[in-house]
Amino acid sequence: MTEDTCVIIPTIREYECVKAYVSNARSHGFDLDRLFFLLVTEDFCETDSMEGMLDDEGVSGAVYDGTRRSEWYTAHDIEEYAHLIPAASHAETSFGLLYMWANPQFEYGLFIDDDTLPHDSFDFFGRHFENLAFSGTLEAVQSDEQWVNVLYQNFDDHGLYPRGYPYSAMNEAVTVDETTVDSVVASQGLWTNVPDLDAVRILMDGDLEGQAQTRTSTDDYTGDFVAAVGQYLTVCSMNLAFRREVIPAFYQLPMDDNPWDVGRFDDIWSGVFLKRACDVLGTQVYNGYPLCEHNKAPRSTFDDLNNEVPALELNEHVWEIVDSVGEDAETYADVFAQMASALIDHEQSYNNADFLTYVGEHMLEWLDCLDALSESTHPPQATPASND
């Protein structure tokens, strides 16, 4: 089979996780010829070793540090948009989206964090593709707070809410029904071991090293589900497959390198915007399996807290600003543009509310960048000269 999937891995140190995912594919008979491994890293990292690893594993791929990314922007005539991808930030996964956009053979993308490993019991890649192709009946979850906790299935035992879940939506009443799912555009796999929590919740769980004392296991998950139409959920990009068509509405937002020092909400807010776009366009985000093992390295919980605090209040309300936007849109780009405009035009007085304007402006530039990249990759054909 031809190469149709770009596996995007932001990494600075644990790049050898690739070996485990390649081994999982081989053990389950998955066709590795479909995969291109794109490692997004920094100039100070072991780029030669990363390239050597890909060669040793016999897989197709490339390593892009900061210098090589700059060269790529120049080669594709989009240097003016380079600021959309913050350096040394998890949000640089957006470079992978640009790379996919410039290479139309990639029909699918897959985000993997370098501090994860696949579970041997799951055909990691195969299960994601099954999810993306799923058509049938699935659990649909909703709550009276309009938010779904992706850890709802064993909540009575662990009491966890994931990173990005609004504090105002806690203590929700959950309802589980069934719905017909026939157009999946993203597959979010969940995680065992270290749960993906924000810093406040990690502190409340009694952990100063960024990991949380409460852990999750396979027993905490009982099956797959979607969030019902009109409901929101946290989308974590550590274990996530998606179709190419969502890229215009899936920009991983400008975190860390901004005047407000906001970080940690790139995939969370992009997930909010993607879910709104999916509801408008009648598509779905599939959640549950395949699980991955999350082995977050110890670090100061207070460092994460410093990154999150500037936008904690905004996170309570950003979804409300876009909740009614884009009803007449027909494409992901159209919905995304309308959500961007809503953020720019908002008149709220939240702490650091200007950051929402900043985000909205970057969202519109993201769409411009994709247009420019399309033109540089596939320039319009010249009009034939007239014989008259």
User: Are the C-beta atoms of residues 153 and 206 closer than 8 Å to each other?
Assistant: no
* Residue 79: DSSP 8-state: G
- Across the chain, which distance is largest between two alpha carbons, in Å? 81
The single residue listed with the structure tokens 């990363």 is 50
Residues of the chain with pLDDT under 50: 380-388
Class in CATH terms, 5-372: alpha beta
| Residue 385, pLDDT score | 36
Residue 375's nearest CA partner among 161, 64, 112, 78 is 78
User: In the prediction, which pLDDT does 378 show?
Assistant: 64
Mean pLDDT estimate for the chain: 95
| pLDDT at 387 (0 to 100) | 37
- Domains of the chain, by residue range, sit at 5-372
Give me the residues paired with residue 137 across strands.
180
* Predicted pLDDT at 376: 79
The two structure tokens encoding residue 104: 């139309």
Taking the mean position of all CA atoms in its chain, how far away is CA 376? 26
Q: Helix, strand, or coil here: 249?
A: helix
pTM exceeds cut of 0.85: yes
- The phi, psi pair for 286, rounded to 5°, reads -90, 135
pLDDT digits (tens, 9 = 90+) for 248-293: 999 999 999 899 999 999 999 999 999 999 999 999 999 999 999 9
Distance between start and end Cα atoms, the chain: 48
Q: How large is the angle between the packed helices 354-377 and 93-102, nearest 10 degrees? A: 30
